[in-house]
Each structure stands twice: as structure tokens, then as C-alpha cells.
Structure 1
Amino acid sequence: MISALHFGGNTLEYVSYYVMAQIACICLMGIILFKIHRNVNKQLSQIYLGNLVFVLMLYFGAEIFWAIVDGGIVTSTKPLLYLSNIFTYVLLSIAAFQWYLLSEAIQKNKAIENNTIKLLLSIPVWLSTILCVTAYRTGLVYYVDENGALVGGKLYVILIIVPFGYMIAASVKAFARAFNKDKYAERNIYFMIGFFPIAPIVLGVAQAMYWRAPFLCYGAVAAAFYIYTSIQDTLISLDPLTQVNNRNQMYKYLTQKMKSPDPGLSLFLLIIDVDKFKSINDTYGHVEGDNALVLIADAIKGACQGPRNRFFVSRYGGDEFVVIAEMGYRAEATWLAEQIRSNVRKIGLEHNLPYALAVSVGIAQYDYSEPVPIQSFVARADSDLYKQKKLNAG
């Protein structure tokens, strides 16, 4: 952390409070780690969060070691001064790197699953570690002066840039995605990731100014709990199989849109049903049926990419999906329905499936001058879907 390099003499008054604060933070982090470990169906983001929490627990332990050395509980020797700061800086850099991986996992960036890419991304951590470990000889990042105090070296700024660089990079990428993505539910996640570093950064700066007050550990714990609860909320709001919004999220979004019309745009609801889905399950098994649903969800999401952030994709239940779209004309909704059908056919061919993938799409347009309940609006789309099914069967 910023304050791992501490200046000045040792005092005993703060050690007890500082150590107790770190122990409390370790216990709180332990609760998160325990709950993640007990989850039998972990998402990649939960695995990375567990890694981050574990590293932070080690970091808090290193801070206890530093306080014991700094407070004179053990004889403060030159090797111990170096060692206590090596642990804090290296573990903080690793924690920041783990946060970057976690943020990318939450944002569904598949690149971080590549070990070569992860190794390249970790280069700043290795550089920081080498500088810390060799500081005893080189003094480039810190050294012990003639008074026995630890002083920053010429390259000390690197130890600050590395952890903050990871956090700032993650935030910038998240905010950029938030303003460019079309998915309503995911936008909230992007903003959450973007705002995550605020507490650690602000409290880290505060601890740099008042370095014997354990501000940063409280900020890290608050941020970790925030991320954990946000991930849990996301898991609750997403369909676990297809990773699109579930029915409850769809109802929330649709309720909002039915109350606030956008000038110049109409509200459409497209209900999508998989043709002959029962035969896929009966012939090839439910595992293959689930695979088909995942592919169809991807095809729908692909058709709903656009520059105006006007689409909301959800799984309505079983083999039915719902798209809520704001468009200028019904012809645009009809075009979107055809794009969905086309994408579904293509994705089936691309994966060399032993069966044909096809969907039927029903469309309903909301009339703001004559408001109706959500279920009635959905029923209109369902009625149109039934007509399309009959046409396809004929």
C-alpha cells in the first residue's frame, strides 16, 4: 500500500489498535472466503474474488508484521525493516493484479483465461517484486538511512504506480464498456467495477498521510464486501444457464419502460420460442437441450447489438426468451425478429449440430395511450407467436 513505506520512529501506543484492526479485517474477509468456498457452483468471477480475498488476508497479516517491527515489539533490525516492507508491497501488487483479473472476469473477457495473456499482464507485479527483493542491495525503491529509518529510493514511485495502475486500468475499461454496451443489467455491473477502487484509493491516500491509522484495511474490506454482494445480486438477476437476464429482471425493466416513454420511439416486446425443442430433449437428452438454449441465447444477443442501447434480452422460462426493444417503427421490430431467426439458424450450422435450430418470434407493440398490465402486453406477443407457430407448421 502507499503507506507500507513508513517514516519516523517507533511507538507502542498504536500497535495494539493497528494489529486488532488488521485481525478484524482478516476475520471479515474470512467470512467472504468461507461463503465462496461453500458455493458448489462457482462462476469464474467468484473464483477470482476468492483469490483476491485470500491475498488481501495475507496482506493484512503482513501489515501486522510491519506494525510489530515498527512498534518495537521485536528488535527493529535492518533485515526486518526490509522484510516487513517487501511483504506489504508485493502482496498489495498481487492483490491489485487479482482485482484486475476479477474485473475482467465479471465483464466476461475470455482473454484472461489464457495463461500466456495472464503472464504478460502480471509483468508489472514481477517487476515490483524484483525491485522490492533487491532493494536491500540496490536501494532503488527504498533503503535504510544512517538513522535506521526506511527512506524512499529513486524508483519508489513504481511501487505506487503498479497497484494503482491495475485498479485505474480496470476502472477505465469498465466505464468505457458501460457507455458502449447494449445490455441493461450489465451496465450496472460495469459502473460497479468502475467505482470499486474509490474506497481503497481514498483511504490509501489517507493512510499515507496518517500512516499509523489502518484506513486502507477498512477500505479494502468495504470494497470486497461490495463486490461480493454485487456478484450475488448479479447471480440472482441472471439466468444461470444462458447468462441473460431472468424473468424478474425483465419485469423490472419492462415496468420502468412502460412508465416512461421515449419521444420518437415505440416499445416492442418480442417473445421467442424454440421450434421442436421437446424433440431435441427427447432425442439427444437434456444436456444437449441446455446446450441448444445457450447457443440460442448467444444468437439473440448477437442480433441485439446496436449503438442506441435499446435492447434488453431475457429468458422468460423453459425454451422461451423475451427481447424488449425501443424502435421507431414496427418494421424495425420485424427486421429484428428476422435477424434473430437468421442468427439462430447460422449458429446451429456453425456448431455442426445433428439437428436444425429454429425459432418463432411473436411481436407486440405497447400503446402508451391505452396502458395495460405487463401480463396483457406479454399475452399480445404470445398471441402473435402462436400465429407464427401455425404458419411455420403449415
Structure 2
Amino acid sequence: MDLFSYIETNVFCIVVLVVLLVALRTSLSRLTNQTILTHVFLMIIAMLVLDTVKAALNGVAFPGSDVFTCIMASIFHVISVMLYFQWLRFVGYNMQLRFWRDRRMMSLFALPGVVAIALVAGSIKFGWVWSVDENNVISHGPYYLLFVACCSVYMVFACILAGYRIPIKRYFADRVLYISLALFGLLPLLGLCCECTPSSPPYSVYAMVIAALFVFLEMQSRMISTDPLTKLNNRNQLNSFLDSKIGQYTENRKVYLFVLDLDKFKGINDNFGHSEGDSALNMVADVLKRVCGPLGCFISRFGGDEFNLVAFLANDAEADALRTSIKEDLARTSASLPYSLTVSIGYARSLGRKESVMDLFSRADEALFAEKKARE
């Protein structure tokens, strides 16, 4: 690739990322995953800018060029380490894993990055990762592969975390998200394999741009169709799904609509705070994913403390069994909480195209109110 094409490609990638960054800052809710992804985009942009300057000045000697190039290379490699580490955090957050909040675990994960940054620092004097000759040409140092290995730890671990969930049935609804998260780890690794010399195009960074675009598009899609707190489907998705399935039933596969409502939820917010209320909602969402996900059910948060479930069951006995399973799992999961976390559940079996979605909701709501009244 000639210098002009090299720089042109870098500039194009920078423009794409800037557009994504602007869209990210203006269209998504102010959530933690947005903040981390913003940092990722900014780091990739910084790496592309530094690489563009390095390519333009490579082999061009001028007073102080060796110091200038050394500073640029140091910043470039430090940012790359921070980028890979941030991506691991992003994967952990989106998969709702707890390790990224555990300081002890994150300190352990930071060790490869500390080694990599130490190698960068040593390169300034000893040329461990890179060196600059009298003609201002950069070449790889003897520990370059060790540096790459330290960075690759984060990409490999991100691939494993996201990749192992892809074939699991209970995570089917989030499969596209996990594929995009795994690709962000896999594609840069493949790009690193193509960077044979310091003058090679930054294929790993280009791969990050492609993966970042994929992740951004998936996040945009999920924001349209997903409840931002619980990551379940939202009301619009429920209505669309139910409308498409309401007439699809056979002798052993009937459409059941479940309506779930948290008992005394206002008391949780009033006595323990809204943050604890959000945690309670997430706990219910996790129970529904765990119990109903393997059955191929459609799970959604309707709003407030109400959830909905569309299940394909043979008869009311199976519906009663599913309702019992949800309540028992929630009881076990919430046993250590300082308050009682229970749900009331009503359901109705679809009559097919003989009734509207609204009518089906009304019958399920009536069953819900009947259960609540029976428990008073």
C-alpha cells in the first residue's frame, strides 16, 4: 500500500468513527456501556491519528525526529493496551458479569497490561518493543511479540466470554450481541497476525473499526427494541411479536400470554431507595431468563414493575407449572434480601385470530387481578 492510500484509509476510518461517536453521544441513553464505548472510540481515533503521523514521517529525519517518533510510539502502544483493557470491561458490562466491578479481579486482569506498559517504558531506552534508527525508521524490538501476547490476553478472554454463550439456547435472544462482542476480540487478533513489520498498515486497528461499527449497529438496534434497565424486550417488541404469533397454534403448541406484577414494589422503592428497586427488577428479569429462556419463551418488560411472557405450551397444566417454577426460582434467588420479593402472575390462552391482542391482554390482566385478590 503506497503512502497516499495508507493515509487515505486511516482518514476514512477516523471519519467513520467520528460519525459513530457523534451518533453515540446524541442518540443513546447515558448508560455505563455508552461511556465505555465512547472511550473505546476515542482511543481508536487517537491510534489512527498517531499512526497517520508516523506513516507520514517514517524515514524522514529532522532535528529531534528520534525523540518525537519515540514519544508517538510510546503513546500509541500505551493507548493500545488501555483500549484492549477497556474492551474487556465493555464485554463484561454488556454480559452483566460482575467481575468488571470487582476491584480485586480487575487488578488481576490489569497485570498483563502492566507488563505491556513496562515493556513500552523500557523501549524508550532499550528498544524492547520498538526502536528508531538514525534515519527515523521504526523497527520491532526483541520483546515485540511479548507485548502483543500481553495485549492479546484481553482479546482472547473477551472472545471466550462472549463466544461461549453464542450456542447456548437460553441466550438465543442475545446471540447477535454476543457475536458482535466476540468479533471485536477476534478480528483485531487476526489483524495483528498480518502486521509483519512496523511499516505494515495497522490491520488490527482497521479490524477494530469494523468490529466497532458492528457493535454500534447492534446497540442501536437493541436500544430501539430493548428495555434499557433489564435488557429485556420492550413493549413495542412484545406487541409486534404477539401480533405475529397469536394465530399460530396447534394441538400441542398454544400461545399463552403471562402478565407478571411485582408485589408491593412501591414499598421497596420508598424504604430501600430506587437503586434497590432497579436491582429487584433486574433480579426478576434474570429469573425469567433462567427459567423461561430455555423453553423458547418471549420475555419483555412492559413498564414499571410489570413483565410479560409469551410461551408456547400444550395446556393450562403446563402454564401452571411454569408459573410455579418462576415463583419458586425467585423465592430461592431473593432469599437473602432484606425484603420480600414476590410476583403475582396471571395468564390467558390465545383464542387465535378470533380475538385481538388487546382482548388477550385484558383476559390475562383479569387473571392477574384475581390472583392478587385471592392472596389478600
TM-score band, normalised by the shorter chain? 0.7 to 0.9
Contact 1:181 1:187 in 2 (8 A): no
Contact 1:69 1:84 in 2 (8 A): no
Distance in 2 (CA, whole Å) between partners of 1:51 and 1:343 is 38
**Distance change in 2, residues 1:198/1:111 (3 Å):** closer
Amino acid of the structure 2 residue aligned with 1:337: R
Of stretches 144-153 and 23-32 in structure 1, the one that deviates more from structure 2 is: 144-153
> How far 1:246 moved relative to its partner?
0.9
Structure 1 residue aligned with 2:306: 320
Of stretches 57-66 and 32-41 in structure 1, the one that deviates more from structure 2 is: 32-41
Distance in 1 (CA, whole Å) between partners of 2:87 and 2:35 is 12
After TM superposition, the structure 1 = structure 2 runs for residues 139-154 of structure 1, keeping only pairs within 5 Å, are: 139-143=127-131, 150-154=138-142
Amino acid of the structure 2 residue aligned with 1:392: R
> How far 1:218 moved relative to its partner?
4.1
Distance in 2 (CA, whole Å) between partners of 1:133 and 1:261 is 66
Structure 2 residue aligned with 1:10: none
Structure 1 residue aligned with 2:317: 331
Matched, 1:176 2:170: no
**Distance change in 2, residues 1:259/1:166 (3 Å):** farther
After TM superposition, the structure 1 = structure 2 runs for residues 338-349 of structure 1, keeping only pairs within 5 Å, are: 338-342=324-328
Structure 2 residue aligned with 1:60: 48
Distance in 2 (CA, whole Å) between partners of 1:334 and 1:289 is 32
After TM superposition, the structure 1 = structure 2 runs for residues 227-246 of structure 1, keeping only pairs within 5 Å, are: 227-246=215-234
Structure 2 residue aligned with 1:226: 214
Structure 2 residue aligned with 1:160: 148
Contact 2:58 2:136 in 1 (8 A): no
Question: Helix, strand or coil: the match of 1:269?
Answer: strand
Distance in 2 (CA, whole Å) between partners of 1:77 and 1:361 is 71
After TM superposition, the structure 1 = structure 2 runs for residues 69-218 of structure 1, keeping only pairs within 5 Å, are: 69-72=57-60, 74=62, 79=67, 82-143=70-131, 150-180=138-168, 182-197=170-185, 199-202=187-190, 205=193, 208=196, 211=199, 213=201, 215-218=203-206
Amino acid of the structure 2 residue aligned with 1:313: I
Question: Helix, strand or coil: the match of 1:196?
Answer: helix
Contact 2:269 2:276 in 1 (8 A): no
> How far 1:274 moved relative to its partner?
3.8
Contact 1:303 1:339 in 2 (8 A): no
Count, aligned residues = 375
> How far 1:49 moved relative to its partner?
0.6
Query: Structure 1 length normalisation: TM-score?
Result: 0.76
Question: Helix, strand or coil: the match of 1:228?
Answer: helix
**Distance change in 2, residues 1:290/1:181 (3 Å):** farther
> How far 1:67 moved relative to its partner?
1.3
- Structure 1 unaligned runs (5+)? 1-12
Amino acid of the structure 2 residue aligned with 1:182: R
Question: Helix, strand or coil: the match of 2:114?
Answer: helix
> How far 1:240 moved relative to its partner?
3.1
Amino acid of the structure 2 residue aligned with 1:221: V
Of stretches 371-380 and 358-367 in structure 1, the one that deviates more from structure 2 is: 371-380
Contact 1:312 1:324 in 2 (8 A): yes
Identical pairs, percent: 22
Structure 1 residue aligned with 2:370: 387
Distance in 1 (CA, whole Å) between partners of 2:204 and 2:369 is 59
Contact 1:22 1:217 in 2 (8 A): no
**Distance change in 2, residues 1:136/1:284 (3 Å):** closer
> How far 1:140 moved relative to its partner?
4.1
Question: Helix, strand or coil: the match of 1:316?
Answer: strand
> How far 1:45 moved relative to its partner?
0.9
Of stretches 238-247 and 24-33 in structure 1, the one that deviates more from structure 2 is: 24-33
Of stretches 111-120 and 19-28 in structure 1, the one that deviates more from structure 2 is: 19-28
Contact 2:280 2:341 in 1 (8 A): no
Question: Helix, strand or coil: the match of 1:360?
Answer: strand
Distance in 1 (CA, whole Å) between partners of 2:208 and 2:337 is 44
**Distance change in 2, residues 1:261/1:160 (3 Å):** farther
Structure 2 residue aligned with 1:7: none
Distance in 2 (CA, whole Å) between partners of 1:293 and 1:78 is 54
Structure 1 residue aligned with 2:37: 49
> How far 1:161 moved relative to its partner?
2.3
After TM superposition, the structure 1 = structure 2 runs for residues 246-285 of structure 1, keeping only pairs within 5 Å, are: 246-254=234-242, 267-275=255-263, 280=266
Of stretches 299-308 and 96-105 in structure 1, the one that deviates more from structure 2 is: 299-308
Contact 1:29 1:221 in 2 (8 A): yes
RMSD of the TM alignment (CA)? 4.0
**Distance change in 2, residues 1:275/1:113 (3 Å):** closer
After TM superposition, the structure 1 = structure 2 runs for residues 30-41 of structure 1, keeping only pairs within 5 Å, are: 30-37=18-25, 41=29
Distance in 1 (CA, whole Å) between partners of 2:62 and 2:12 is 22
> How far 1:44 moved relative to its partner?
1.3
Distance in 2 (CA, whole Å) between partners of 1:59 and 1:344 is 47
Distance in 1 (CA, whole Å) between partners of 2:130 and 2:109 is 25
Distance in 1 (CA, whole Å) between partners of 2:349 and 2:116 is 58
Question: Helix, strand or coil: the match of 1:178?
Answer: coil
Contact 2:233 2:300 in 1 (8 A): yes
Distance in 2 (CA, whole Å) between partners of 1:40 and 1:193 is 18
Instruction: Deviation per CA, 1:172-197: give whole Å up to 9, x if none.
Output: 21121233362443333212212334
Contact 2:116 2:151 in 1 (8 A): no
Structure 2 residue aligned with 1:8: none
Amino acid of the structure 1 residue aligned with 2:149: I
Amino acid of the structure 2 residue aligned with 1:305: R
